[in-house]
Amino acid sequence: METQNAPVRWKLIGPGLAVAATGIGAGDLIATLVAGSQYGYALLWAAVLGVVIKIFLVEGAGRWSLATGHTIFQGWQRVGRWTSVYFGPYILLWGFVYGATAMSSTALPIYTVFPQVPFIVWAILTGLIGAALVWSGRYHAFEKMIAVLVGVMFVTVVGAAVVTVPNLPEILGGLVPRIPDGGIVYTLSLAGGVGGTITLAAYGYWLKEKGWSSPRWMKVMRIDNSVAYVISGIFVVSMLIVGAELLYSAQIAITDGDEGLVELSGVLQERYGSVMRYVFLLGFWASSFSSVLGVWNGVSIMFADFWGNLRGLPEDHPGRGIGGTYYRGYILWLTFPPMLLLLLGKPVQVIIAYGVLGSLFMPFLALTLLFLLNSRHMPERWRNGWVLNAILVVIAALFIVLGIQQLIGAIAGS
């Protein structure tokens, strides 16, 4: 039973775990691995800072939803209609490219173990299975699947760090902020880029599906968010430890891409035996597939809310929520059109556009949250204080710098 004033019972595993697990994919693991392989523990502090940044951003999105009863997209509408002009093309193009990326990333460790089946078959099966698992829109079943995948990631990724016998004094030294020569890009990427995707904005939608839908759940939301990102931080730190202990010390170079994790599994096999290789590949698969499930579910809810708004549907219309027609339509968009990219390769123009729009999303999220959490639309009790505003300003500035770097990279890549 729950009183009208405060929840009496709640589960530790909540929407925060879905956000954290979805955001920490294979690309983030490889980024921290490469940072560790090149700079040892020097950038450990930046990885920890990145976790703290995501805690503040996701807390802001959750606080907005609980305090106002509105989704983040409905909040963006209050910032101005221009937000839809950006968000509409972004969510469509992002889904088109990300669908292919996520299917490829998840298929890679499976193909490594079972190369008898063509890679494209594993990738397509990944998309189809992911779509089938979230099609019904049953949030609690989705949450349990994410929890299982996080458990697998914890055992395998943290296990890989433990077997390398990390150097504790050097780990503690890595918590002292410093930027090694030539490490500014990696520093910024670790602090702002790891775990930062559109799924951060999906948190409020998952809160609603969980049943946490009013200010009385504020404390629970904050605990849920913090615990989930501490867990994701453990993943990130573990991969940096593996990079520092296994690769940096032996001066072993790996590919700066998902293939790098396959190469790492080979290094683990040489050092610790074949069992360790397969255990790590299982963790690689779990990190990738958790992102598939999280995006196929969470971003599809966001699209349903966006499209329902364009159609003039009221906020509480079933079509704007999980399991509705628009939700399922976006799942299909994530699954089938991206298969063309798998078959034909990624057209340069599409990738450039994806890079340009993607580089703007995290600055967009940080700046709009800064506006919303101080606006008249937010109940006064739950608005930002000067400390939170200062933190969000610094975060927004970081993402603007990162966004400019990514924008230059996307254009230069043409």
CATH class of 15-297+347-412: mainly alpha
Least confident segment among 228-237, 255-264, 289-298: 255-264
Q: Would you state the pLDDT for residue 319?
A: 87
Q: Would you state the pLDDT for residue 188?
A: 78
The answer on pLDDT for 182 being more than 90 is no
The answer on pLDDT for 15 being more than 60 is yes
pLDDT digits (tens, 9 = 90+) for 133-150: 999 999 999 999 999 999
Indicate the pLDDT class of residue 72, thresholds 50, 70 and 90: very high
Mean pLDDT of 322-338: 95
Compare 1 and 270 and report the one with higher pLDDT.
270
Least confident segment among 108-117, 187-196, 324-333: 187-196
The answer on pLDDT for 201 being more than 70 is yes
Indicate the pLDDT class of residue 335, thresholds 50, 70 and 90: very high
Mean pLDDT of 276-287: 93
Q: Would you state the pLDDT for residue 116?
A: 96
pLDDT digits (tens, 9 = 90+) for 207-249: 999 999 899 999 999 999 998 888 888 988 998 999 898 888 7
The answer on pLDDT for 312 being more than 90 is no
pLDDT digits (tens, 9 = 90+) for 95-123: 998 899 899 989 999 999 999 999 999 99
Q: Would you state the pLDDT for residue 57?
A: 92
Q: Report the predicted TM-score, pTM, of the whole model to 2 decimal places.
A: 0.90
Q: What percent of the chain has pLDDT over 70?
A: 91
Three-state SS letters, the chain: CCCCCCCCCCCCCCHHHHHHHHHCCHHHHHHHHHHHHHHCCCCHHHHHHHHHHHHHHHHHHHHHHHHHCCCHHHHHHHHCCHHHHHHHHHHHHHHHHHHHHHHHHHHHHHHHHCCCCCHHHHHHHHHHHHHHHHCCCCHHHHHHHHHHHHHHHHHHHHHHHHHCCCCHHHHHHCCCCCCCCCCHHHHHHHHHHCCCCHHHHHHHHHHHHHCCCCHHHHHHHHHHHHHHHHHHHHHHHHHHHHHHHHHHCCCCCCCCCCHHHHHHHHHHHHHHCHHHHHHHHHHHHHHHHHHHHHHHHHHHHHHHHHHHHHCCCCCCCHHHCCCCHHHHHHHHHHHCCHHHHHHHCCCHHHHHHHHHHHHHHHHHHHHHHHHHCCCCCCCHHHCCCHHHHHHHHHHHHHHHHHHHHHHHHHHHCC
Indicate the pLDDT class of residue 27, thresholds 50, 70 and 90: confident
**d(Cα 162, Cα 157) in Å, to the nearest integer?**
9
Q: Would you state the pLDDT for residue 6?
A: 45
Domain parsing of the chain, residue ranges: 15-297+347-412
The answer on pLDDT for 353 being more than 50 is yes
**d(Cα 46, Cα 384) in Å, to the nearest integer?**
25
Provide the mean pLDDT of the chain.
87
Mean pLDDT of 392-399: 88
Q: Would you state the pLDDT for residue 1?
A: 39
Q: Would you state the pLDDT for residue 12?
A: 54
Q: Would you state the pLDDT for residue 8?
A: 44
